[in-house]
Amino acid sequence: MSELNPDKKIAQSEGVDRPVMYIYLAGRIAGNCIDKCLAWRRQIIDHYANYKGKGVYPIAFLDALNSKESDSVDPLGLTSAIPPNLIYDKDMMSVKKADVVVAYMDDYMEEGLEDLMNLNPTDSVRDTGPKEYCQIKDIDYKEEFFRLQSVIRNRRPNYGTTMEISWALWLQKPLILIAGDERRKKILESHPFTKRSSMIVKDVDELLKHKWINILYKSVSSAIY
């Protein structure tokens, strides 16, 4: 925490101990899904930019994409115009400075496969044969197999995000994980390391609805009753 926040509209405390809280937004950065990488970050930042129409909430968001890395990052997020050692150092600096770390855990593996991921076994099936053996019409199975195979072989795990949440836990920072979907949420809640997080939510909407960030802020600002 640092700097007193001069705006009393939201965190009223009679001018005493109204700090700015720093939150680092950790998550995948890759050119082939950059819109999704930006979207969840913007949703959180915009939510607190004019909180309930009263002005900015006293939170400063630290975002790796603030360096405009998104303009030059390659499809898999392995290279950009920023030298790799500088990326490591700037992100480490951000995690150390942060009071709280919020990490989005989706690796967007389904990027480019949405048409296959959204198929329903009951869609356009043949009329004969057991349901489990029915085939979906009008699909080139060979082509789609190799497309799926290519995505699996070229999949890049969220190494950077995993490192950053490890730093956060080691530095004893409050850590909130956003799973991205219910299946991944259950996995994160079961893993002996990730379950140590302060909070695990399904999506950004759940995070904002329950005001978990607000609670963390109020725990370090002057009490009002």
Q: What is the mean pLDDT of residues 9-19?
A: 59
Last residue of a domain, one of 154, 176, 209: 154
Beta-carbon contacts of residue 116 (< 8 Å; ≥ 6 apart): 144, 147, 148
145 and 163 belong to one structural domain: no
Examine the domain organization and report whether 210 and 128 are in the same domain: no
Assess whether 145 and 79 both reside in one domain: no
| Residue 12 clears pLDDT 80, i.e. is over it | no
DSSP assignments along 67-122, one per residue: G-GGGT--TTSS--SS-HHHHHHHHHHHHHH-SEEEEE----TTTT-HHHHT--TT
Domain identity same for 32 and 60: yes
Q: What is the pLDDT of residue 59?
A: 94
Question: Does 110 score more than 60 pLDDT?
Answer: yes
Q: Is the pLDDT of residue 140 over 90?
A: no
Q: For residues 128 and 182, state if they share a domain.
A: no
Whether residue 224 lies inside any domain: the answer is no
DSSP states along 122-138: TTTB-SSS-GGG--BSS
Please name which of 140, 182, 175 lies closest in space to residue 161, comparing C-alpha atoms. 175
Report in angstroms the alpha-carbon separations of 157 from 13, 64, 113, 145, 198: 44, 18, 17, 21, 23
Distance CA 214, CA 102 (A): 13
pLDDT at 148: 74
pLDDT of residue 70: 76
37-91 pLDDT, tens digit per residue, is 999 999 999 999 999 888 889 999 999 888 888 788 988 888 899 999 999 999 9
Domain contains 225: no
Angle at 9 between CA 8 and CA 15, to 5 degrees: 10
Say how far residue 121 (Cα) sits from the centre of its chain: 30
Judge if 164 and 146 occupy the same domain.
no
105 lies in the same domain as 65: yes
- The 10s digit of each residue's pLDDT in 116-126 is 555 555 544 44
User: Does residue 73 sit in the same domain as residue 168?
Assistant: yes
Q: What pLDDT score was predicted for residue 211?
A: 96
The single-letter code of the amino acid at 79 is T
Do 89 and 117 fall into the same domain?
A: no
Asked if pLDDT for residue 167 goes beyond 50, the answer is yes
Beta partners for 63?
25
Number of domains in the chain: 2
For the chain, the residue count is: 225
Q: How far apart are CA 103 and CA 160, in angstroms?
A: 11
Query: Are 16 and 84 in the same domain?
Result: yes
Residue 212: how many other CB atoms lie within 10 Å: 18
One domain for residues 28 and 52: yes
pLDDT of residue 47: 96
How far apart (Å, rounded) are the C-alpha atoms in residues 160 and 88?
A: 9
CB-based contact 167:194 (threshold 8 Å): no
Out of 104-118, 119-133, 156-170, give the one with best mean pLDDT: 156-170
At residue 13, the 3 state secondary structure works out as coil
